[in-house]
Structure 1
């Protein structure tokens, strides 16, 4: 069986989706294919999100916001949206989840840390569902 592919989508692909992708890569390693995209990508990653992730030893500085393409959704097994709602195309047979997370844009580091930790808990649950080993 091929490894599952997870796509994280938020509007700017600069905070929540990048932190989620960072956590999933860190915690699942090569067992899960990780993608992220945005319906209206920003020109760079949120520096406070980068700082919050670096505090837990995860480097997302190399990540670049990416425009959401239909192929991204079609080629993923699980699509997790974070406040982009109807911007995401729907394909039959895919698993869709919407994570209601605070947008870290413009928030102080204390708030971004809470978002980071909330995302980690959701990622840990997702990994156990996708890869029980």
Structure 2
């Protein structure tokens, strides 16, 4: 499972954090960015800590730094078409990029991503119960 956004400093880091905390039974989450930032945004870490998810040690990665062949699903939050055609299912999530915005925006984005990740986890658990293998 790969969560993808532009800089891998906000949205995809949040999604990976929620997926690790709540969905490790049905997925092995990774995250990356199309044009990775130099750091995970401090506000990203702050709003995730409020959910008891620690992003210390996380760092922005490019798509080239991730072994996409190990992924069964890509969740694209970048808002742009992926640069290559991939033989992997891609789901598009429309999530505002909070970079450069205030904490209220980060909180709203965090909560939107949490709900979307939880829905995805529930879908994957249903799939596993029906004989699938998760991602």
TM (norm. structure 1) is 0.87
1:101 has 2:99 as partner:
no
- The alignment of Structure 1 onto Structure 2 pairs a total of residues equal to 127
Following superposition of structure 1 onto structure 2, how do residues 48-59 of structure 1 map, counting pairs within 5 Å?
A: 48-59=43-54
Over the residues paired in the alignment, what is the CA RMSD in angstroms? 1.7
Q: Does the CA contact (< 8 Å) of 1:8 and 1:35 recur in 2?
A: yes
Unaligned runs of 5+ in 2: 130-135
Q: Does the CA contact (< 8 Å) of 1:45 and 1:61 recur in 2?
A: no
Unaligned runs of 5+ in 1: 1-5
The runs of at least 4 aligned residues of structure 1 exceeding 6 Å deviation read none
Of the three residues 101, 114, 124, the one matched with 1:130 is: 124
Name the residue aligned to 1:115: 109
Of the three residues 28, 35, 38, the one matched with 1:40 is: 35
